[in-house]
Structure 1
Amino acid sequence: MQSNYQSRWTQSARDTLRPVFRSAFRSTLTSAFGVALVALGIALGTAGCTTPGSTNAAPPAVNSSAALPSWRDGAARQTIQKFVVDVTREGSPNYVPPDRRIAVFDNDGTLWSEQPLYFQFAFMLEQVKAAAPKHPEWKNNPAFKALVAKDYAALASQQKQVLQLVALANSGMTVDEYDKTIRDWLASARHPKFNRPYTDLVYQPQLELLAYLRANGFKTFIVSGGTIEFMRPWVEKAYGIPPDQVIGSSQVVQYQLRDGQGTLVRQPKIDFVDDGPGKPVGIYRNIGRKPILAFGNSDGDLQMLQYTASGSGPHLALLVHHDDAVREFAYDRTSKIGKLDKAWDEAIADGWTVVSMKDDWKTIYPAPKQ
């Protein structure tokens, strides 16, 4: 059931935007992307950008034409601004008190890039390679053989076995040791094509949106299929989102005494998968309130968007469509990474807002740091 707010806007917008979406789909390059560890070509648009560290600065007033400067003045930007004004203006029939202004964002493909391979997966695969000398039994493991041979088709068909290897390779150390491993990797690793740190490849328009929402009384959360352990070391600096507002998948940890010191040690077992139907569960467990705004980019975000859009009251569900092969990537229905198929169909049918990376964003990434 749609809210009064969305029903008023989406009925007229749907007739206008549906042919635009269909035209965009026909013209978008949608050839299938396999799971790959090699880079694909990307060209960056960097004009008029700021650095990720600027996200804590308050944006212009909600009714200012200067708000969200990296967003083009189209239907998506106007919808976001109208929604924020509507739920924050006292006396509005759709007014939402600040303690209920919850906004949730997927991370991979929504707040930063995810091609040619989820960035955390690139980190974890390096951990598997580093741990291999301690595990000679892996030489007969089909998933490990596929990894060594860079057989991406085999890796794609053995995801469960790969995850088991990854869990084992990323266990045994304390959570503090693992935290340092992540920080060290992020400090030295570079995207294979951009030759920029992975944390540079966050989306400038989304940095502005996060800050814009917070300036208007929203509490912003990450709800990602990635693990909380991988995200917490860097998301506050990149997005202005503190570690306690990160919801993600998790690996089992166990309390142990080591050298007389109490510590937490990672175990070779996945504890919770915060993807697909797991996302509403993670939101309930960690927030205890239904969001009024949700932003995703793939079928893995479908249930989070459905959950946000269900019931009465104002809500806004948004999807990023990766349709910019020049400045980033073009992929959707057939992609192995960040597949957007069922969620796209539901967005069109239910009047959710689909954000075209090509048409709605003036720039993609912040300017490189000097």
Structure 2
Amino acid sequence: MKSLALITCLAAILVSGCRPQTEPAAAGKASQMTTDPLPSWNDGKVKSAIIDYVHKVTDSSSGSYIPVADRIASFDNDGTLWAEKPLVQELFAFAQAREMVTKDGRLAKKQPFKAVIEGDKEYFHKGGEKAFVQLVDATHTGMTEVEFENAVKNFFTSATYPPRNVPIWQITYQPQIELLNYLRANGFKTYICSGGTVEFVRGISMDLYGIPKEQVVGTTFNYKYVDSSRSIMRLPGLAHFNDKEGKPVTLQRYLGRPPVFACGNEGGEGDVEMLQFSQSSKYPSLQLLVNHDDSTREYYYQEKTNWSLDEAAKNNWQVISIKHDWKNVYRAEKR
């Protein structure tokens, strides 16, 4: 959920309506691969930086060696592992709203449900981020955790992604899937640190990325344990918004240390602090920033402030040009 991208995407949604690999046993040295570990990446500065980094931190004879227990990699999700124009969670929120109105017609007269049903783009345009948060709050709470997980599962079973009109798994980035696999093959534990709500991302993390749900952190709601049913209720109101400065806080809370490898994207200014935090590690670290500069194969969008790219230049982060660094963008086959 990146605040700067919300309003642009909401209009498109109103108009359109809308495999696994476990963490392997870690090796002390980098896996000796006879084939290219990143075949969807073009040869160049970024690809070389990744491979060189993995080699040196997994070589026990190197001064840059990182013990297996501290090989932690953190990835943003929206715009980093899959497309974010529009945000998939927005599609889910609109689908949830329509489903809830089907079950209770009275909701059609109440906002934000009324705006969704009537395709009222102006409501969300005027309301901005506040209106979208209201929609997410209304469609993601007031139910048990099990009920929410089932709703997420049902959504991904049939949802398609506008404007490409393909299943959601086909908007994941093939080069990033290869990168996740490469890191895991060399003893890294991969995490997702998302601005999206944590249970929503956990619903697909294993299936799409090979990342188990306990290795996903993100935005959280308030919860309550119900003794009579022994269940967890999802309550209205955000407990923590996991974006920008919220990401290092979450990583420290769950990991107890900075990740040595971090990857985010420009476009919403949401990942700079996570990459900065990674760079504070006592070990050698590597930071990657995806630049959405390919209007033909993906999307072209830049921050008005150019803050993320400016920080990348200042801090010597590797900038991934989708246009120049990736041979292929989207996944062609399901895991």
Into which bin does the TM-score normalised by the smaller protein fall?
Answer: 0.7 to 0.9
CA contact (8 A) 1:35 1:152 kept: no
Question: AA paired with 2:214?
Answer: D
What's the CA shift string for 1:326-346, capped at 9, x where partnerless? 111111124xxxxx8211111
CA contact (8 A) 1:94 1:314 kept: yes
Q: Pick from 42, 63, 68 the counterpart of residue 93 of structure 1.
A: 63
* Equivalent in the alignment of 1:272: 240
- Tell me, yes or no, if structure 1 residue 262 matches structure 2 residue 230: yes
RMSD: 2.7
CA contact (8 A) 2:71 2:187 kept: yes
1:315–1:188 CA distance, 2 compared to 1 (3 A): same
Q: Pick from 273, 280, 286 the counterpart of residue 310 of structure 1.
A: 280
Question: AA paired with 2:237?
Answer: K
Shifted more, 101-110 versus 309-318: the winner is: 309-318
Please state how far the C-alpha of 1:65 moved relative to its aligned partner. 5.8
* Equivalent in the alignment of 1:353: 318
TM-score when scaled to structure 1? 0.78
Question: AA paired with 2:271?
Answer: D
Q: How does 1:118-137 map to 2 (within 5 A)?
A: 118-132=87-101, 134=104
CA contact (8 A) 2:293 2:322 kept: yes
* Consecutive aligned runs of 4 or more in structure 1 exceeding 6 Å deviation: 54-58
- Tell me, yes or no, if structure 1 residue 286 matches structure 2 residue 254: yes
Please state how far the C-alpha of 1:131 moved relative to its aligned partner. 3.2
CA contact (8 A) 2:83 2:171 kept: yes
CA contact (8 A) 1:36 1:152 kept: no
* Equivalent in the alignment of 2:4: none
1:149–1:67 CA distance, 2 compared to 1 (3 A): closer
Separation in structure 1 between the aligned mates of residue 125 and residue 282 of structure 2, nearest angstrom: 43
RCO comparison, higher one (Cα < 8 Å, 6+)? 1
1:57–1:101 CA distance, 2 compared to 1 (3 A): closer
- Tell me, yes or no, if structure 1 residue 220 matches structure 2 residue 194: no
Separation in structure 2 between the aligned mates of residue 81 and residue 273 of structure 1, nearest angstrom: 33
* Equivalent in the alignment of 1:34: 8
1:139–1:213 CA distance, 2 compared to 1 (3 A): same
Question: AA paired with 1:352?
Answer: W
Shifted more, 249-258 versus 289-298: the winner is: 249-258
Please state how far the C-alpha of 1:310 moved relative to its aligned partner. 2.4
Please state how far the C-alpha of 1:195 moved relative to its aligned partner. 2.2
Separation in structure 2 between the aligned mates of residue 204 and residue 162 of structure 1, nearest angstrom: 30
CA contact (8 A) 1:35 1:153 kept: no
1:253–1:75 CA distance, 2 compared to 1 (3 A): same
Question: AA paired with 1:219?
Answer: K
Q: How does 1:50-65 map to 2 (within 5 A)?
A: 52-53=19-20, 61=31, 64=34
Separation in structure 1 between the aligned mates of residue 316 and residue 109 of structure 2, nearest angstrom: 51
Separation in structure 2 between the aligned mates of residue 61 and residue 152 of structure 1, nearest angstrom: 54
* Equivalent in the alignment of 1:196: 166
CA contact (8 A) 1:224 1:248 kept: yes
Q: Pick from 322, 330, 333 the counterpart of residue 365 of structure 1.
A: 330
CA contact (8 A) 1:294 1:305 kept: yes
What's the CA shift string for 1:145-189, capped at 9, x where partnerless? 654344268437421233123212322211111111111111011
Question: AA paired with 1:34?
Answer: T
CA contact (8 A) 1:293 1:308 kept: yes
